[in-house]
């Protein structure tokens, strides 16, 4: 120790640095630290950063697991090993074949699992059969989670027909719900418009970001500072310097003024050139800008990623420099986005070493702030098709992206979200039909508090792309991860009911996209925890149910419903010998009124019954009076035609049980409501239209199905 200390002092003296200068954390610029000390400080800083990163990741993992987010069961060891693009081991393949012939399922399972876990990227093209064998055997062995994950991978990566793996996947996962198609959605919303508390907020529409940002040319590909105070985006408003007919992409910048309004967008000096610049991305601190520059002689491929840093001393951006061959390739590289700490860069690339057309990659900063060789995000996120437009929400630590190859799609490119958990990525979730349409969705960003999504689309009045904002739906929210599920049953018989389930966020006063239950009556939503919601369940065979609930962790709710064919209400019980309505009956009677209003094809029969006490004639007269007074109430409040509702008093003629006790007599004293479809009048019979295929793919429930396709995702 003494020798090391003496050696260090000698080195410091030789370097002309006193102990006092060394003790200062920030020595004078005129006295630079020796190289070995700078290297030591860099290593210490990297270790601190790495420790902080691991602590943050561990805390995030705990939160996500508590919310029900699940990491994939299998890891693929060789995905990012350039030396093993395709894994092959002839000895192990021979052992797999032997175990298969010997019908030793346990041994075969172990051998297959080990072999598949060594897959490289090209194995997902050439060895999909082994993936299929392991998926099938996993289901047989009872590991349904692994089996469903493997079938999902087969669907994403198989080059042939996918009907069989889709059928098996659906049977394993039991997809509980499907979004309503457009016609069903419109009808459902119209029925709910009568309920004042369920009306959507006025701002639940697309809002053009205005002439300060948009031009009469294409504007798209925006990125926001973490505090939402500034935006950078791509625009084609500038003419190409050599040929006005050529597309010219440039980067523009705007910030909010003191009143919170966007200032007129301007170019960033020194950034735009005669080449195409687009897809800009700001680091969380707003001091680093990464963007794509296309067709530049300084590039490795047709589009490369460049970086520029902001200097507060000169109040300007540095000369952009190419991020180098660790990130850029000889192909197309674009659509960058930073992680929370700015130490990871995600981007899209169509390099040949990927799973499909375009994949999502990432690179981390290493020692000396050098970007390390990029890695593929893996086969759960990337597919045989295209993944583009990654967007990392830096405050909520969620990765969004656009894809044309995931399991659930409304058409073209849809937006998905995925969560980092246990050093891998969760199964992507479609953000729903309030954002995704039959057209393509990409070029988007979400503001800091996750209330607004910004994206590019064509205005209805002209053909070019403009930047719009839209309230972020629940399905797309980063925190919508807590599962709320349940099933519908008839309250007495347990009969399975199918219908429509909608949920309203009572804090934001917005509807979550309604879904149709599965054949087994089940449904499932992902919601934000610790909020109050309104559950609305509707269907043809039961009365609509409306129920307020507070979500506190994952919740399963088995809902008991009343069959509309014959209904009894506990509240509709008359005083002995009386036919006078009591106030407690009114809620249930209004339920009947509501149903008849919403279902004009139904008629109602009100049937009064008594017990056997007293005289039969008096009992029949009393039961008729009770049925009549209920009919009068319903007709009066509902303003229905008189002949649509019938009132019949049966007296003691139709007992449910033999009367031996007072409870038996109470059971027989009842009023039954029988609902049935009335036959259509001749004038109401319509000429049948062309029959549509019931199995045809459904449209997304959104008015904007006329939305025009976006431009190709080129440099911007």
335: left (phi over 0), alpha (psi -120 to 50) or beta: left
Name residue 688's beta-bridge partners.
none
pLDDT at residue 702, as a whole number: 43
Name residue 279's beta-bridge partners.
none
pLDDT at residue 177, as a whole number: 61
Q: What's the pLDDT tens digit per position in 517-539?
A: 988 889 999 999 999 999 988 88
pLDDT at residue 204, as a whole number: 47
- In this structure, are strands 207-208 and 230-235 parallel, antiparallel, or unpaired? unpaired
Q: What does the chain come to in residues? A: 716
pLDDT at residue 167, as a whole number: 79
Q: Which residues of the chain have pLDDT under 50?
A: 1, 5-6, 9, 12-30, 194-204, 461-462, 680-711
Question: Cα angle vertex 526, ends 525, 532, to 5°?
Answer: 90
In whole angstroms, give the CA distance from residue 388 to residue 591: 49
In whole angstroms, give the CA distance from residue 334 to residue 278: 8
CB 359 within 8 Å of CB 387: yes
pLDDT at residue 472, as a whole number: 92
pLDDT at residue 660, as a whole number: 87
End-to-end CA distance of the chain: 58
pLDDT at residue 178, as a whole number: 81
- For 516, phi then psi, to 5°, come to -95, 135
């Amino acid at each position: 120790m003494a020798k090391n200390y003496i050696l260090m002092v000698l080195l410091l003296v030789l370097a002309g640095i006193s102990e006092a200068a060394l003790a200062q954390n920030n020595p004078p610029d005129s006295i630079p630290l020796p190289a070995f000390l700078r290297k030591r400080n860099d290593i210490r800083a990297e270790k601190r950063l790495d420790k902080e990163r691991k602590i943050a990741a561990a805390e995030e993992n705990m939160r996500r697991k508590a919310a029900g987010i699940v990491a994939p069961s299998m890891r693929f060891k060789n995905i990012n090993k350039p030396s093993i693009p395709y894994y092959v081991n002839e000895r192990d393949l021979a052992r797999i074949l032997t175990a298969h012939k010997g019908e030793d399922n346990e041994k075969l399972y172990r051998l297959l699992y080990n072999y598949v876990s060594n897959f490289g990227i090209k194995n997902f093209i050439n060895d999909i059969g082994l993936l299929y064998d392991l998926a099938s055997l996993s289901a047989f062995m009872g590991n349904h989670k692994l089996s469903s994950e493997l079938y999902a991978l087969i669907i994403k990566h198989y080059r042939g027909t996918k009907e069989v793996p889709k059928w098996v996947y659906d049977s394993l996962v039991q997809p509980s719900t499907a979004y309503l198609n457009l016609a069903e959605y419109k009808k459902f919303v119209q029925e709910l418009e009568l309920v004042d508390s369920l009306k959507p907020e006025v701002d639940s529409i697309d809002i053009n970001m205005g002439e300060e940002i948009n031009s009469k040319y294409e504007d798209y590909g925006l990125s926001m500072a973490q505090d939402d105070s500034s935006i950078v985006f791509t625009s084609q408003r500038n003419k190409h310097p050599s040929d006005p007919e050529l597309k010219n992409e440039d980067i523009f910048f705007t910030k909010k003024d003191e009143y919170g309004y966007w200032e007129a967008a301007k170019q960033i000096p020194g950034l735009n050139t005669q080449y195409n610049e687009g897809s800009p991305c700001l680091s969380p601190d707003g001091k680093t800008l990464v963007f794509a520059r296309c067709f530049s002689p300084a590039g490795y491929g047709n589009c490369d990623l460049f970086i520029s840093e902001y200097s507060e001393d000169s109040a300007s951006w540095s000369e952009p420099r190419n991020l180098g061959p660790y990130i850029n390739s000889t192909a197309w590289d674009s659509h960058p986005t930073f992680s929370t700490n700015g130490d990871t860069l995600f981007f899209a690339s169509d390099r040949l070493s990927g799973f499909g057309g375009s994949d999502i990659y990432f690179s981390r900063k290493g020692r000396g702030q050098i970007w390390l060789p990029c890695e593929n995000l893996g086969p759960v996120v990337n597919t045989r098709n295209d993944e583009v437009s990654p967007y990392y929400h830096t405050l909520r630590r969620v990765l969004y992206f656009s894809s044309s190859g995931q399991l659930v799609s409304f058409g073209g490119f849809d937006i998905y979200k995925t969560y980092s958990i246990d050093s891998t990525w969760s199964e992507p979730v479609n953000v729903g039909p309030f954002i995704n349409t039959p057209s393509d969705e990409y070029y988007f960003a979400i503001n800091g508090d996750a209330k607004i999504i910004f994206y590019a689309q064509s205005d209805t009045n002209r053909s070019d792309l403009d930047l719009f904002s839209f309230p972020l739906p629940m399905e797309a929210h980063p925190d919508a991860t807590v599962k709320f599920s349940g099933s519908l049953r008839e309250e007495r018989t347990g009969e399975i009911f199918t219908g429509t389930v909608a949920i309203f966020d009572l804090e934001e006063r917005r509807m979550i996209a309604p879904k149709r239950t599965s054949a087994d009556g089940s449904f499932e939503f992902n919601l934000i925890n610790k909020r109050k919601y309104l559950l609305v369940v509707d269907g043809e065979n039961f009365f609509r149910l409306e129920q307020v609930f507070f979500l506190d962790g994952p919740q399963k709710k088995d809902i008991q419903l009343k069959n509309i064919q014959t209904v009894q209400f506990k509240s509709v019980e008359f005083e002995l010998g009386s036919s006078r309505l009591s106030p407690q009956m009114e809620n249930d009677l209004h339920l009947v009124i509501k149903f008849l209003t919403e279902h004009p094809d139904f008629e109602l029969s009100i049937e009064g019954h008594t017990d056997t006490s007293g005289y039969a004639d008096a009992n029949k007269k009393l039961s008729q009076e009770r049925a009549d007074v209920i009919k009068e109430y319903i007709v009066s409040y509902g303003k229905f035609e008189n002949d649509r509702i019938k009132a019949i008093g049966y007296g003691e003629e139709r007992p449910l049980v033999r009367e031996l006790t007072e409870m038996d007599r109470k059971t027989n004293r009842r009023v039954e409501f029988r609902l049935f479809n009335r036959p259509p009048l001749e004038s109401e019979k319509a000429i049948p239209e062309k029959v549509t295929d019931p199995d045809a793919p459904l449209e997304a429930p959104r008015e904007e199905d006329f939305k025009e396709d976006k431009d190709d995702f080129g440099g911007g």
